[in-house]
Structure 1
Amino acid sequence: MARVYWPWLLASGFLGIAVGIGAFFILGRTSPQFTSTAFVEVLPVLGEGTAVTTATGIGGTQELGIAMETRARGAVSDPLLLRVSDQPEVRQTRWAQQFVVDGIYSPQAAMQDLRNRVRARTISDTSYIQFTARASTRDDAQVINKAFTDVFLLTQNTDSRAFVSNEIQRSERDLRRLRTDIDALNTRINNLIDQSQVTSANEQTSIFAKEIAVLQPLVAEARQQIAASEERLENFEQMMQAPGGVVYPEFVREEAERANIAQQLQLQIENSEAALRSYEAQYGPNHTELRRRRIMLQALRDQREQMIQKKMAESFSALVDSTRRNISTLRAAEAEHLGKIAIAERRLNELVRTLAERENLQLERARLLERMQMLETKLSSLTLERERGARVRIAQEATRPDMRSFPRLIPTVAVSVFLIGGAVSGLIFLREVTEQRIRTPLDVSLGARARVLGFIPDISMDPSAPKRIELACEEAPRGATAEAIRQIRSTLLKSARDNGQKAILFVSGLPGSGTTSIVSNLGINIANIDLKVLLIDANLRRPSLHKVFGTGDKPGLAEILRETATLDESIIQTRIPNLSVLPAGSDGEGTYERFNTPAMSELISQAREKYDFIFIDVAPSVVAGDALALSHRVDAVALVVRAYSEKRGLLNRMKSQMEDARASVLGVIVNAIRPNAGGYFKKNFQATIAYQNGSASPATKDAKPVKAKSADTDDNNTNA
């Protein structure tokens, strides 16, 4: 885009410079402005970043910046500006005369204008404020700025003295209150020490902690013994409740058997058993005495077992009671230990709270002491400040300007160039947005949503400079135009072969689109790859194919349609092998209407049998309806548009008409592409020529293109 509109942008730049210079001189005579500058220093004070306040933690750089900014804003407040506008020296300026009405000066009106003429701004990281005043004369600017700074100094110093006095009174009041609070804290700390004997707190804490440490293992041991005893008692109760009777532990039976009476009975049983064996050996097993002695032995055994059962019941009952008493004793011991632990913990917590309270009181006292020290330091600083006097002074008096502050040459010219350049850029953008003509293949893809079969460069972009654009493939086979035709041929042949299409109609929208040159060059190119091609000139209004190839113009298509000649009689073989031409013939009455007759369909059918491809050149669709009449009799249609000629709407209408006629639209060929967008197409075509010639020679780059000479004046052949 810059390549296309650079003259516009360059002209806008020169115009902007000229207008800017003119505006500079005009404004310098009609509306000059002079600016006076003065500097005021604000001496630091407590709370505004002095060394004293920074050390005490009250002031700092941030506080200084905030205070300075506050003063700068106050300098341009309405009350202060009203006082400035009412100063006697300001009343005498030329600027003030515009506010005199009927001999009466209006300070209020002057104050409104001063808002836009005076400025006060802080100098970063310093204690200086810059004051500026703007007026139409040098003297007025100086007088106004001097009055501005004088009123500011008077106001600030008056306010500062009142501020320091108030701060001293407030600091003394705060200091008295702090001393009272510190005395109260000392009393509380002393009372706490006396009441709680906090001085021996560390020793008492250790005693309580040790007591808790001793009691906790005892509680754990008691709980373990209680658990073991409860488990033993539960086992005993299960033995007592056994379905077959009480089941005593083995150690209970052993203890019962060791009793004296059990031992005596056992001895008697053993003696009886010995006597029984002796009698049995002496008298035999069936003696009456033996039976008696056996009865006596069994009686002894039963007696012993009864005695053991009784002894076991007594022992087991005593064991259960003992276990229950032991559990009760252990629980009492556990409760006692827990009570002692609770008492020790409560006393320990009370002691810890007392210690924490003492520590908090001591911290509060330290904080108050620190604050008291800060207030004492602040009070000393304020006293010194009161003795020192004024805190705001003039660092630089209001200057008398040496040169104008407005207008300035460079800014005025820059603004003028920017505005005019912006306006021209806006016009360029608007022109690009509203442009409806087809300029690049992208316009076809996006605007018409059609397939692009290829594009052909404008003849001025072809460094090979063919003499006749219609015969570019013959005269300059290595040129950019011929190469573009080859690319279109490849796309066209692939699509046609995939769909079995031979007869293709080439249709343009407007005269001069270059349909004839595209048809003739495609015919030459395809004939060179040993395919038989027939070119039919169906543009009966302005026939030109016979002129391109230097053949006769009749008999031709018109005679065939009127049935006064045959196809074989009318076809002419050109000088190029495999390429034949069917000229338009002589126009006669009713010839155009015969495109809709069976004779036209028969002609195309006969041509299909003899040729590999039939290309038909027809009149533009805008000037005639021949293309629409032929569209449904051919196999496919290729649309041709010329860059910067046809509009997108025309292409859309052509495409819609062909589709409505049930024609197969192969795509669009864009003719006469011109260099734009940085010369992308031009550089590519030049590179193509250089590559085919063996080197990118400067001669190729510097070659001056020659405009092609068309074979006739037919607009349909134009590509320049």
Structure 2
Amino acid sequence: MTTLTAANPIYGGRSAPMAPARPSAPGGSGLTGADAWRIIRQRLVMIIILWVLSIGATIGGTILWAKYYPTYRAEALIWVESIDPIDITRPLARESHIQEDVVTRMLQDQAMLVTSATVLIKAIEDPKLRATQWWREAQEKAARKGDDEVELLRDILTSTPIRDTNYIQVTASWRNAEDVKEIVNAVVRRYESTIHELQRGSMKEQADSIDKELQAAQKRYEALIRQKEEFRRSQEFSARSGQEVDERVMTLTALETELEMETTQREAQYDALRGARAEDLPITEDIQALLDADASLIQLEARVQELDQILASARERYGANHRTIKDLEANRAAAVERLISETNTKALRFKTQQLEMVRRMALEARDQLMSIRQTKKEAMDAQKDREAKLNDYERIEEKAKLEDAQVKQLTERKNQLELAANQRKTVRIEIRQEARTPKRMSAPKFELVIPAGCILGLAASIGLAFLLDMTDKSVRTPRDVLRQQIPVLGTIPTTEDDEIEIERPETAVLDAPHSIVAEAFKNLRANLFFSAPAEQQSTILVTSPSGGNGKTTVASNLAIAIALTGRRVLLIDANFRRAGLPRIFSGMRADGLSNILIGQGHLDDYVTASSVPGLDLVSAGPIPPNPAELLGSSYLRDMLLEARARYDQIILDGPPVLLVSDAIVLSGAVDGVILVCQYRATSRGALQRSQSQLDAVNANIYGAVLNRVESRAGGYFRKNYREFYQYSEPDEDAADRPKLDAAGAVAAATQVPGEDSAASLGMEAGEGGVSIAQQATADSELGLGEDATAATGSDALDREIASLGADLESGANLSGDSELGLSLDEPGDEDKPGDEPNPAR
């Protein structure tokens, strides 16, 4: 058994906080099945009313539609035998196999042609169509609105190919049965005639186009023939002339090779002799031959030989030493010397001539080689020119052949097209079924329109319900609070739905202890006790995002509920601007907290005892000019230390978080904060901003209280009200049990304040106190018991959601809307002395 002991004060200021684990936000923000079922149940009456109205509107509208604007539909069937384009190369042939996509595409082309302006313009000229009522109204619309009769006719016509067939279905829909028949038949007839005209016109256009191409091709062919003949006359292209040119090039090439060799040889000789002197050159055979053939040298040699003969004869006659011999020898020596001198002179001249001849021969060989090369180049140019001209001639001849072939081809195509144009049809069109006067309306179809209207009406009604729910950004369910990762400590129902009349909701726990509202506050008390250790919740600030959310009612009932357990409770009115406790508890002193905070006295000087045993009160006191500065002074900490020493629980009824800064200052001085949210009044955005501001100062948020919850269909407490009071009634089959004296229970609770809390909770004071087991049972029935108490842990949160979803209707009411409102409550909504709401107002 858990013992709830009085909290020992921690001197020096606020007790060390140990924030409870915030519950994780519900997984996902999407709309769940439970959310959808809740929305439908909550707005079931609206859905049914709108659905009934939509059914009535559907039936009435359908009847009026059938009476004043019925729709009749007439249809005709057109059969297309072969819509593939004719092959003009085989005009009498039919394709044995046509691709399915080609057939489908061509059928669609024909269907488009039925509703084309070409056909419809001719159709409106039909006398039978002009005699219809539709035509008269079309003329009136054209005159009044400027509409086109062709477009008006197209609006009521449809032309579609029938799948897997060669049929085209032509339909018209209008409110006159006889008119639709005439309209369809007129369009079909004009379509058939248009097809025949288009076929003949198409053939004629093709024939004209081919004739133009043929004439142009003939002109080009004739021009090429003339160019070919002129070229032939101006150029010689015989085989002999071409062979002569080739042979001449070959001869010149061979001669060039020989001259190159000879030139190389002569240049080598010249290079060998160019650096030598004539006198240093040896006497070659050629020079020797020249010397031997020289006449002067021959004469000199003959003179020497003659002198030799004379000298020999003289020696025989005169002897060797004869004077004549001496003279002859001298003459002979002179002749020999002259011969040698002349020979040397001649040899030198011949050597010089030989050097000049070698140089001249090398130059002549080089000149001859250059000349041969030039001649060869001219011959090769002539050969290339002949080949180029021959290629030009061949190109002209090839073009002429191509143009001739094109002329023949175009001539053949023209003849074939003329043959095809003479046929009756290229595409066979037959009207297999003319339109008949329809006997039944095509619209409206009662068997379709009325069920569809009912279904759409139901869907629209449900959709409107969902839209209204999704656009509502107020806090409506515990899930809206859990999305901010704030535990839900309790949900307080509105007193207007309670079977027990509660005149003063601010003291419902004391005045109506057996009501479901009182049980909700007791459940809040139990959840608070188990949300954190006792030493970490001795000082509690009760606040709300904005004014008018019922925080004073929650604070007073919570203080009374805790006091009834035997604990010593101090309830302090910390709302200097809109103090609310004096109108709840009569006899409170005018001086109070503000006097303590300016040092005019101590806590004992301003405490007022209430009629509830164990509950003392401190009023807000006179209105100070600077409330936030007073609350931030050291006097507040000293007062709280003093209160901790005397009381087990200190509850401060503070101002709204978003309107003034007092609540932010107070949150830093207490152990924890309880946020009060009013059902459908507090926005999710305001709750989020309140949490953000409290988190910014490291305030410990125990959880939130959802106040003034209505017992509506699909909402909280609808079923729980009935089950709670059924459970509270005595069991007729059970044996009578004695009742505990209420006065004794009160005395026991007040005399043993520090005993085991379970014993304190076991017998509550008041009229017929409810045991902890009964309270737990009631809490379980409300869906707000132990599972909600353990909302600080993720496992407990899962159990709470599972319990709410499986056992109670309230569990299906976790809202799926995850968006947060962004607007603050209006300044005029702050707490007013006369407007502090009870859970029902």
TM more than 0.5:
yes
Counterpart position of 1:704: 808
Matched, 1:28 2:66: yes
SS at match of 2:78: strand
User: What amino acid sits opposite 1:362 in the alignment?
Assistant: K
Task: Name the CA shift for 1:399/1:442 in 2 (closer, same or farther; >3 Å).
Answer: same
Counterpart position of 1:370: 409
The alpha-carbon deviation at position 35 of structure 1 amounts to 0.7
Structure (1 or 2) with the greater helix fraction: 1
Task: Name the CA shift for 1:395/1:186 in 2 (closer, same or farther; >3 Å).
Answer: farther
The alpha-carbon deviation at position 187 of structure 1 amounts to 5.6
Counterpart position of 2:602: 566
Instruction: Give runs of aligned pairs for residues 426-445 of structure 1, distance below 5 A.
Output: 437=474
Instruction: Give runs of aligned pairs for residues 231-246 of structure 1, distance below 5 A.
Output: none
SS at match of 1:142: helix
Counterpart position of 1:403: 440
1:37 touches 1:399 (CA, 8 Å); kept in 2? yes
Matched, 1:361 2:400: yes
User: What amino acid sits opposite 1:646 in the alignment?
Assistant: T
Counterpart position of 2:682: 646
1: distance between equivalents of 2:360 and 2:231? Answer: 55
The alpha-carbon deviation at position 136 of structure 1 amounts to 2.3
Match of 2:128 among 70, 84, 87: 87
The alpha-carbon deviation at position 332 of structure 1 amounts to 3.2
User: What amino acid sits opposite 2:174 in the alignment?
Assistant: A
User: What amino acid sits opposite 1:396 in the alignment?
Assistant: Q
Instruction: Give runs of aligned pairs for residues 91-490 of structure 1, distance below 5 A.
Output: 91=131, 114-120=153-159, 128-153=167-192, 157=196, 159=197, 163=201, 170=208, 177=215, 184=222, 191=229, 252-253=275-276, 257=280, 259-260=282-283, 327-385=366-424, 392-409=429-446, 410=448, 414=452, 437=474, 454=486, 456=488, 459=491, 468-474=522-528, 477=530, 482=531
2: distance between equivalents of 1:408 and 1:217? Answer: 107
SS at match of 2:423: helix
User: What amino acid sits opposite 1:117 in the alignment?
Assistant: I
1: distance between equivalents of 2:458 and 2:681? Answer: 30
The alpha-carbon deviation at position 343 of structure 1 amounts to 1.6
Matched, 1:602 2:645: no
User: What amino acid sits opposite 2:124 in the alignment?
Assistant: L
Task: Name the CA shift for 1:412/1:453 in 2 (closer, same or farther; >3 Å).
Answer: closer
The alpha-carbon deviation at position 216 of structure 1 amounts to 9.2
1: distance between equivalents of 2:527 and 2:266? Answer: 120
Match of 2:654 among 619, 644, 667: 619
SS at match of 1:83: coil
| Fraction of identical pairs, as percent | 16
Task: Name the CA shift for 1:28/1:346 in 2 (closer, same or farther; >3 Å).
Answer: same
2: distance between equivalents of 1:217 and 1:617? Answer: 131
2: distance between equivalents of 1:457 and 1:209? Answer: 119
User: Structure 1: 5+ residue runs without aligned partners?
Assistant: 102-107, 237-247, 262-307, 445-450, 493-501, 522-532, 573-580, 708-712
2:492 touches 2:705 (CA, 8 Å); kept in 1? no
Task: Provide, for residues 347-393 of structure 1, a one-character-per-residue CA deviation record: whole Å limited to 9, x for no partner.
Answer: 1111122222222222222233223222222222222327x9x9543
2: distance between equivalents of 1:220 and 1:425? Answer: 107
The alpha-carbon deviation at position 310 of structure 1 amounts to 12
Based on CA coordinates, which of the two structures has the bigger radius of gyration?
2
Task: Name the CA shift for 1:126/1:383 in 2 (closer, same or farther; >3 Å).
Answer: farther
2: distance between equivalents of 1:313 and 1:74? Answer: 112
2: distance between equivalents of 1:516 and 1:693? Answer: 27
2: distance between equivalents of 1:335 and 1:65? Answer: 77
Task: Provide, for residues 589-644 of structure 1, a one-character-per-residue CA deviation record: whole Å limited to 9, x for no partner.
Answer: x26669578697232343687989x9973433499968279679969998957374
Task: Name the CA shift for 1:167/1:208 in 2 (closer, same or farther; >3 Å).
Answer: same
Counterpart position of 2:611: none
Task: Name the CA shift for 1:64/1:213 in 2 (closer, same or farther; >3 Å).
Answer: farther
Instruction: Give runs of aligned pairs for residues 570-589 of structure 1, distance below 5 A.
Output: 584-586=617-619
Task: Provide, for residues 400-425 of structure 1, a one-character-per-residue CA deviation record: whole Å limited to 9, x for no partner.
Answer: 33532222343676578669967986
Task: Name the CA shift for 1:171/1:385 in 2 (closer, same or farther; >3 Å).
Answer: farther
User: What amino acid sits opposite 2:436 in the alignment?
Assistant: T
Task: Provide, for residues 71-128 of structure 1, a one-character-per-residue CA deviation record: whole Å limited to 9, x for no partner.
Answer: 42457755423323x228x63x665787999xxxxxx998886454344456689765
Match of 1:19 among 50, 53, 57: 57
Task: Name the CA shift for 1:654/1:166 in 2 (closer, same or farther; >3 Å).
Answer: closer
Q: How many residues align?
A: 578
User: What amino acid sits opposite 1:393 in the alignment?
Assistant: E
SS at match of 2:808: coil
The alpha-carbon deviation at position 251 of structure 1 amounts to 9.0
1: distance between equivalents of 2:556 and 2:273? Answer: 127
1:15 touches 1:420 (CA, 8 Å); kept in 2? no
Task: Name the CA shift for 1:691/1:632 in 2 (closer, same or farther; >3 Å).
Answer: closer
Task: Name the CA shift for 1:63/1:212 in 2 (closer, same or farther; >3 Å).
Answer: farther
1:253 touches 1:312 (CA, 8 Å); kept in 2? no
Task: Name the CA shift for 1:584/1:196 in 2 (closer, same or farther; >3 Å).
Answer: farther
SS at match of 2:442: coil
1: distance between equivalents of 2:244 and 2:607? Answer: 132
The alpha-carbon deviation at position 705 of structure 1 amounts to 7.2
2: distance between equivalents of 1:420 and 1:224? Answer: 116
Task: Name the CA shift for 1:594/1:205 in 2 (closer, same or farther; >3 Å).
Answer: same
User: What amino acid sits opposite 1:585 in the alignment?
Assistant: V
1:153 touches 1:392 (CA, 8 Å); kept in 2? yes
Counterpart position of 1:40: 78
Task: Name the CA shift for 1:339/1:423 in 2 (closer, same or farther; >3 Å).
Answer: farther
2: distance between equivalents of 1:535 and 1:211? Answer: 137
The alpha-carbon deviation at position 34 of structure 1 amounts to 0.6
2: distance between equivalents of 1:170 and 1:655? Answer: 88
The alpha-carbon deviation at position 139 of structure 1 amounts to 3.4
Task: Name the CA shift for 1:539/1:361 in 2 (closer, same or farther; >3 Å).
Answer: same
2: distance between equivalents of 1:650 and 1:225? Answer: 118
The alpha-carbon deviation at position 16 of structure 1 amounts to 4.7
Counterpart position of 1:293: none
Task: Name the CA shift for 1:403/1:641 in 2 (closer, same or farther; >3 Å).
Answer: farther
Decide which moves more: 340-349 or 328-337: 328-337
2: distance between equivalents of 1:456 and 1:376? Answer: 97
Task: Name the CA shift for 1:330/1:505 in 2 (closer, same or farther; >3 Å).
Answer: farther
User: What amino acid sits opposite 1:398 in the alignment?
Assistant: A
The alpha-carbon deviation at position 38 of structure 1 amounts to 0.6
TM-score (norm: length of structure 1): 0.55
Task: Name the CA shift for 1:597/1:34 in 2 (closer, same or farther; >3 Å).
Answer: closer
User: What amino acid sits opposite 2:128 in the alignment?
Assistant: Q
1: distance between equivalents of 2:474 and 2:105? Answer: 66
2:266 touches 2:362 (CA, 8 Å); kept in 1? yes
2: distance between equivalents of 1:172 and 1:598? Answer: 107
1: distance between equivalents of 2:133 and 2:798? Answer: 81
The alpha-carbon deviation at position 32 of structure 1 amounts to 0.8
Task: Name the CA shift for 1:36/1:510 in 2 (closer, same or farther; >3 Å).
Answer: same
Counterpart position of 2:822: none
